[in-house]
Amino acid sequence: MDPRAETSPASDRVPVASRAVKAGATLFRQSCVADAIYFVSMGSFKVFRTAEDGYEQVLCFVGAAELLGYDALCTHSHPTEALALEDSRVCVVPLHELFALGQATPAFDRMLHLAVSRQLTRHGEVTDVMAAVAAEVRLARFLLNLSARMQARGQSPRRLLLRMCRRDIASHLGVAHETVSRSFTALADLGYLQVRNREVEILYLPALIEFARSTRGSSEDLMNQARCRVSKADEVGTAGAMGRESEALAALKALSKDAGQASFPVGKSAARIRASAGA
């Protein structure tokens, strides 16, 4: 089932207002009084917190079928800020109507529980990403989570359009801006990705999944191991690579059920990997 159908007030004919939010506009600000929660029906947002010294920490990226502002329910003020990354639309549920609406409309109550559960799953994904030592692995896990979310929405899990900028990704992953750029280049040189500005294509999904499994490995060790796997891929041939591709797609499909998420040169190894995978 399309997750949007389970977590969109409009799909259950719940009487709530809809609001358009232009790209770059703020939906709610940090420390401001909370008067509503929001279901994203279209578009995407970045959620961030600004420290006393002015540093902006990006906590997560929220898209269609996801919930915004629920963390303000207990404190009545927003601990974060939400900014639209593109032209978006949200369904607005006033806090003073929230509990009564849940009691009067079972469909809304179910929808709210599903949205909160999905939000908790997202927090688990962030923890998993941050557990990795190497920046390249953090980026790989971030892209795989995004790929799974795209697949869950019925979109391509391989061709990703990043609505967020490199600096936002760096803040989210807890690394420097330059480190994110180098990590994109490294994954592209291995033939896992092709990157054109904000357009990312996953060229070889099995290898990216395998690379993302290492939690404690250093960047240098991981890159050496990855280069060895690239060399072995030439020896395996098309049949073996296609088998791993099928397994990787099955793994991504399973992950997507839980999700229900300047040009960089492509290295010489990309052509070999694509050929061995039958891409």
Q: Which residues does 2 contact at the CB level (< 8 Å), separation at least 6?
A: 153, 154
What was the pLDDT predicted at 98? Answer: 92
pLDDT in tens, 106-140: 888 998 999 999 888 888 899 999 999 999 999 99
What was the pLDDT predicted at 266? Answer: 34
Q: Residue 271 pLDDT > 50, yes or no?
A: no
Q: Residue 46 pLDDT > 80, yes or no?
A: yes
Confidence of residue 251 (pLDDT cuts 50, 70, 90): low
Q: How far apart are the first and last CA of the chain?
A: 29
Average pLDDT over residues 72-96: 95
SS (H, E, C) the chain: CCHHHHCCHHHHCCCCEEEEECCCCEEECCCCECCEEEEEEECEEEEEEECCCCCEEEEEEEECCCEECHHHCCCCECCCEEEECCCEEEEEEEHHHHHHHHHHCHHHHHHHHHHHHHHHHHHHHHHHHHHCCCHHHHHHHHHHHHHHHHHHCCCCCCEEECCCCHHHHHHHHCCCHHHHHHHHHHHHHCCCEEEECCEEEECCHHHHHHHHCCCCCCHHHHHHHHHHHHHHHHHHCHHHHHHHHHHHHHHHHHHHHHHCCCCECCCCHHHHHHHHCCC
Average pLDDT over residues 229-242: 55
Asked whether 65 and 118 are in contact (CB, 8 A), the reply is: yes
| Token pair listed for 220 | 């240098």
Confidence of residue 78 (pLDDT cuts 50, 70, 90): very high
Asked whether 35 and 73 are in contact (CB, 8 A), the reply is: no
What was the pLDDT predicted at 217? Answer: 77
Asked whether 176 and 90 are in contact (CB, 8 A), the reply is: no
The answer, as to whether pTM is greater than 0.95, is: no
* Rounded Cα gap, residues 194 and 190, in angstroms: 10
Higher pLDDT: 21 or 268? It is: 21
Q: Residue 268 pLDDT > 50, yes or no?
A: no
Confidence of residue 11 (pLDDT cuts 50, 70, 90): very low
What was the pLDDT predicted at 230? Answer: 67
Confidence of residue 235 (pLDDT cuts 50, 70, 90): low
* Rounded Cα gap, residues 206 and 248, in angstroms: 5
Confidence of residue 275 (pLDDT cuts 50, 70, 90): very low
Averaged pLDDT score across all residues of the chain: 82
What was the pLDDT predicted at 272? Answer: 42
